[in-house]
Amino acid sequence: MATSNSTSGYSSSTEQKDTKEKDCLMSNINKPEDVQIQLLEAKEEDQKPKPKPRDQWSKEIEFLLASIGYCVGVGNIWRFPYLCFKNGGGAFLIPYFILIITGAVPMYFLEVIMGQYTRSGAIKIWDICPIFRGVGIGITIMMMFVNVYFIILMAWPMHFMFASLVPLFNEDGRLPWTRCDAWWNSENCRTPGEWAEANKTSDWSSNNKTVGSSLEYWNNRVLGLSKGIEYPGPPQWELVGCLILSWVCVYFCVWKGVKSSGKVVYFTACFPYVMIFCLVIRGLTLPGAFTGLLFYVKPDFSRLVDSQIWMDAGTQVFYSYAICFGCQMAMGSYNKYHRNFMKDCAIICCFNSGTSLIGGVVIFSVLGYMAHESGLNVEDVAEKGPGLAFVVYPTAVALMPFAAFWAFAFFFMLVLVGIDSQFVGVEGFVVAITDMLTTKYALKKNVREWITLAVCVVSCLFGISMVTKGGFYMFNLWDYYSATGLVLFWFCFWECIAFSWGYGVDNIYDHIEDMVGYRINPWLKICWKYITPGVILILFTYSIIQYNFASLGDYKYPMWANLMGIAMGVCSTIFVPLYFLYSILIAPGNKVSEKFTQAKNVNPRRLFGKKKQSTQSKNQTEKNQPRIVILQVLLRKKRKKNLTYTQYRNIRNGI
């Protein structure tokens, strides 16, 4: 590079032109002694290659389908109906929708907005407010835990799905969970038909020795349930095979990033609704369905004064909307910058909550049918959690005509909604890792595929501990400590505070206007700054007050298991305060306030180009230091394009 008035290798006419360019620039400057002119002849080897542009959805509908598929999961099918039943039927819908409007929906919009604006994953996105980068690191670690155990919710229904094909190869055409003569059955086993008939003629429901064949199949055949987590036992090899097959499907859904996952969602997000529609029609035509639906929607308003109903509603809405898992940011980052995400987000939120309501119709119409067939009340045939999907529903299906078909349809639907949620979760984790690596290293083309493969293999190996005879206890432990309750509310609170107060809601509203072309109403701003953090803080506080160690029915986990679970929760949450303190310690300044200001300052060119500088700040800068004007002249390129000096200067330097 040359810094003199002449450049070797060029003719005298070129030197005269360059001298005139510098004289022209100097004539517009009041104090030439404060100006340093540098004439730089750029060479091709000096120019750094531009980073690879970020992938984008091939079609706009792919973002919509991927987001719907991720949010709508197995929790919408079994957990929401159970919570509605547990908390006063229709009365549960009141806190449910209040917390959706004030908590989950504003947070969902916030994550999509920031992902689309910054085009970054859960870690790199915090370049906008570096002091809160610990939130992104913690969310990524939490998502790693979720990827390990959530896929088990694919392995279980996959086992039942394959078992639904057994009648095709049996002479009697019976489903395996309707038998009482198999090796996994006890002497007290009763088939669904015998169970229903017995309850009509005698009080067998009070006989603790009577066990349904579906429950024995679930406990003894599928899970091989041991006495506790202390007795892991050998793997359940059929579940191991289902787990490996699930991970293979997930890998090939995301191995090419958005290019592959964007195509898969056309089937995995749409076909489950075909199955749900068929199951709704079938459920509504069953005798006794109206009784179940009435129990589902009939409100018990006395429950609204119970704090537990609000806690259950809060946990459900934040978990079902997949807030603070980093995946909404990752999917939003694949959008085009000027995409109108407002309409998309509204549609996704409606689909999410609507699917929960429809899932309740599917489940409670079947429960009403079971109550009709057995003569029991609806509350006596309903069970909590997985039991609702893997015990009660198989029992009900066995009482229907064409039982094998309806069983296959139901469990195939569960597999599809599970795989949608799982591969988007893996995508969000991989995006966070690759974004972090690309800031330091130039990754080769196929590195992302190897990272995805490593994530899938390692997660599968850890997941094997959950498909042993004691695996159900391990699954419940991971679910209780790693990503629900306290941990989830902790990250939701700090993410909302970091974006709304650390970065600023006014800045976010400016970005929204720049992206969609108009200014939205102030409701989201009010929620982000005041209402949503307050709601989350109340839920978090109540979680601490009501905190108990994990349990599974009457089983109490040993202390070492609880400590292991607590360690998983601390492993992710601890990064928020640690990185906060680290950022303040390394920030320049003498006072804590100065360090805090420096630690949360944004590098305006890091993510989204120039940041406007106030006139006062600009004048202060000019007073404190001399102006340095760097004139970068690419001589060959300039003459080749025949640019005027003014055009060239504006393009290259913005002077």
pLDDT digits (tens, 9 = 90+) for 29-80: 444 444 444 444 444 434 444 556 677 888 888 888 888 888 777 777 777 8
CA distances from 607 to 299, 314, 418, 439, 579 (A): 50, 34, 34, 11, 21
**91-124 burial string, b = 16+ CB within 10 Å, else e?**
bbbbbbeebbebbbbbbbbbbbbbbbbbbbbbbb
Sign of CA dihedral 462, 464, 469, 475: positive
Which has the closest alpha carbon to 302: 82, 80, 542, 91?
91
Collect all residues with Cβ–Cβ distance below 8 Å to 388 and sequence separation of at least 6.
78, 81, 82, 363, 382
Distance, in Å, from the CA atom of 316 to the CA atom of 350, rounded to the nearest integer, reads 15
Tokens of 573: 């949450």
Residue 8's pLDDT is: 44
Amino acid at 214: S
Q: How many helices (H) and strands (E) does the chain have?
A: 33, 6
Instruction: Look at residue 239 and tell me whether its pLDDT is greater than 50.
Output: yes
Whether the CA torsion 464, 466, 469, 474 is positive or negative: it is positive
Q: What is the pLDDT of residue 261?
A: 72
When pLDDT is cut at 50, 70 and 90, the band that residue 655 belongs to is very low
Quote the pLDDT of residue 634.
40
Is the sign of the CA dihedral 237, 242, 248, 251 positive or negative? negative
Residue 590's pLDDT is what?
Answer: 83
Q: Compute the distance between CA of residue 478 and CA of residue 472 in angstroms, rounded to an integer.
A: 10
SS3 31: coil
In this prediction, residue 116 carries a pLDDT of 92
Task: Please give the residue that has the higher pLDDT: either 294 or 73.
Answer: 294
pLDDT band for 443, please (50, 70, 90 cuts).
Answer: low
Q: What pLDDT score does 531 carry?
A: 95
| Residue 173 reports pLDDT greater than 70 | yes
Look at 593 and 27; give whichever has higher pLDDT. 593
d(CA 355, CA 361): 10
Strands 555-556 and 38-41, by their bridges, are unpaired
* Residues 6+ away with beta carbon under 8 Å from 135: 126, 491, 494, 495, 498, 575, 576
pLDDT band at 15 (very low <50, low <70, confident <90, very high): low
DSSP state of 501: I
Comparing 655 with 117, the larger pLDDT belongs to 117
261-275 pLDDT per residue, tens: 777 888 888 888 888
- Residue 555 three-state SS: strand
At position 456, the amino acid (one-letter code) is C
- Asked whether the whole model's pTM tops 0.85, one would answer no
Burial of 443 (0-12, 13-18, 19+ CB in 10 A): middle
Contact 179, 194 (CB under 8 A): no
- Give per-residue pLDDT as tens, 127-148: 888 999 999 999 999 999 999 9
Q: Domain 60-581 falls in which CATH fold?
A: Amino acid/polyamine transporter I (1.20.1740)
Could you give the residue range(s) of every CATH 1.20.1740 domain in the chain? Answer: 60-581
Q: Which residue matches tokens 């970054």?
A: 120
Six-digit token string for 47 = 């120019």
* Cα–Cα distance measured from residue 523 to residue 510, given in angstroms and rounded to the nearest whole number: 15
CB 123 within 8 A of CB 143: no
Quick check: 493 and 533 in contact, CB under 8 A?
yes
What is the reported pLDDT for 596? 83
What is the C-alpha separation between 457 and 115, in angstroms, rounded? 28
Name the least confident of 64-73, 284-293, 550-559: 64-73
Judge whether residue 411 has pLDDT over 70: yes
Are the C-beta atoms of 336 and 439 separated by less than 8 Å? no
Share of the chain above pLDDT 70, in %: 78
Question: What sign does the dihedral 483-486-490-493 (CA atoms) show?
Answer: positive
> What is the average pLDDT score of the chain?
79
Q: 171 by DSSP, 3-state: which? A: coil
* Cβ–Cβ < 8 Å for 213, 185: yes
At 468 the three-state DSSP class reads strand
Strands 555-556 and 551-552: antiparallel
Q: What DSSP designation does 123 have?
A: T
Residue 422 one-letter amino acid: Q
What region does 257 belong to: left with phi over 0, alpha with psi -120 to 50, or beta?
left
Q: Alpha-carbon distance 561 to 551, whole Å?
A: 11
The C-alpha atoms of residue 245 and residue 237 are separated, in whole angstroms, by 12
Q: What confidence category does residue 204 fall into, taking pLDDT thresholds of 50, 70 and 90?
A: very low
